[in-house]
Amino acid sequence: MTQGRILAASIEELETQGITRYRVKRVAAAANVSVSLLYSYFEDREGLLAATIVRRYRDEVLRTATHFTAPLVGVTTPEGMRAAMRQLIDDAELPERYRSRGLRIESFSFARHNQTAADGIAAAQREAGNYIVGRVQPVVDRGLLPAGMSAASFARIWYALFFGQVALEGDHSLAATPEEWRESLFAIAEAMIRRSPD
């Protein structure tokens, strides 16, 4: 599909050149279409950039949501929950998670100035949120979390711990070594696993 080729080329252009060096002519050439055909699909450069950022953001946030919840699928015991949390913590520290944090920050920055991008990012966040809650709910239904903890609160706590961490990285009083951070996450996870489900 032509529009899909254009968006794929546009994502590549954005990732290799950044917003300031992004060129529509290169996108059209990479998609093997004329600039005029490209503009029959997108109103202008800003519209193409907005669609690109939304597609890129949606793909990344849904990929992250899938990865974030994968260890929880099929968990039925406290021991299984413990193993799932250990996997979730290990996976959150992989280098590609840091890249995805950067993509989200860049997308939010552009969306502050472009309503189409802001609306698309908000829709992707809702979609990812619903997906995550749906994947966590069985763990709640099996009584593996403390009484009163909903799927949304569990997901929010862990999502914030993993993906909010980027704002706390650096050399300051709130910085922690990767080892300290992992051990703290393991301690939090252990405290959140219900010992004997109802």
Q: Is the separation of the CB atoms in 93 and 99 below 8 Å?
A: no
pLDDT at 151: 92
pLDDT in tens, the chain (198 residues): 899 999 999 999 988 888 889 999 999 999 999 999 999 999 999 999 999 999 998 988 888 888 889 999 999 999 999 999 989 888 776 655 555 656 666 666 777 888 998 899 899 989 988 999 999 999 999 999 988 889 999 888 887 766 655 445 566 676 677 778 778 888 888 888 887 655
pTM: 0.78
Q: Where are the domains of the chain?
A: 1-42, 46-192
Q: Nearest 5°: phi and psi at 10? A: -70, -40
Q: Whose CA is closest to 122, among 174, 190, 54? A: 54
129 burial class (0-12, 13-18, 19+ CB within 10 angstroms)? middle
pLDDT, tens only, 11-47: 999 888 888 899 999 999 999 999 999 999 999 999 9
Q: Whose CA is closest to 142, among 84, 59, 58? A: 84
* Domain 1-42: CATH superfamily, name plus number: Homeodomain-like (1.10.10.60)
Class of domain 46-192: mainly alpha
Q: Where are the alpha helices (DSSP H) in 18-114?
A: 24-31, 35-41, 45-69, 78-92, 95-111
